Amino acid sequence: MMLGAPEKMGSNNAAGAARRAWHPWVLMAGFLLVAIGWPLVGRDYQVYLSLSFFSYSIALLGLNLLFNYTGLISFGHALFIGIGGYTAAFMTHKYSLLNMELIILIAVFLSGLVALLIGLICVRYIKIYFAMLTLAFGMLFHSFLMKTYSLTGGDEGMHVMQPKLLGFDLSHMDKMSFFSGPYYYYNLVFFALASYLMWRIVHSHFGLCIQAIRDNPDKAEYLGISIRRYRLYAFVISGCFTGLGGALMAPVTGHMDPAMVFWTHSGDMVFMTLLGGFSNFFGPMLGSLVFIFLRDTVSSFTEYWRFIFGALLAALVILAPGGLMELLSRGWAAVGGLRSKEQGS
Q: Which residue has the higher pLDDT, 180 or 335?
A: 180
Q: What is the total residue count of the chain?
A: 345
CA angle 152, 156, 161 (to 5 degrees): 70
9 pLDDT above the threshold of 80: no
Q: How confident is the model at residue 137 (pLDDT cuts 50, 70, 90)?
A: very high
Residue 48's Cβ-count burial label (10 Å; 0-12, 13-18, 19+) is: middle
Q: How confident is the model at residue 108 (pLDDT cuts 50, 70, 90)?
A: very high
Distance separating alpha carbons of residues 52 and 292, to the nearest angstrom: 7
pLDDT for residue 89: 92
Mean pLDDT, range 40-47, rounded to an integer: 84
pLDDT for residue 115: 94
Which residues are within 8 A (CB) of 146 and not within 5 positions of it... i.e. 6 or more apart? 154, 155, 258
Reported as type and span, the H/E element at residue 159 is: strand 158-159
Give the residue among 78, 122, 87, 126 at the shortest CA–CA distance from 106: 87
Question: How many alpha carbons fall within 13 Å on the CB side of residue 118?
Answer: 29
Determine contact, residues 260/81, Cβ cutoff 8 Å: yes
DSSP per-residue string spanning 242-267: HHHHHHHHHHHH-EE-GGGGSHHHHH
Distance separating alpha carbons of residues 58 and 38, to the nearest angstrom: 19
Give the residue among 72, 115, 80, 84 at the shortest CA–CA distance from 236: 115
Predicted TM-score of the model (pTM)? 0.87
Mean pLDDT, range 66-81, rounded to an integer: 91
Q: How confident is the model at residue 4 (pLDDT cuts 50, 70, 90)?
A: very low
CA angle 277, 321, 283 (to 5 degrees): 5
Distance separating alpha carbons of residues 321 and 309, to the nearest angstrom: 16
Per 3-state DSSP, what percentage of the chain is helix, strand, and coil (rounded to 5)? Answer: 80, 0, 20
Predicted confidence (pLDDT) per residue in 220-237, tens digit: 888 888 889 999 999 999
Mean pLDDT, range 16-31, rounded to an integer: 64
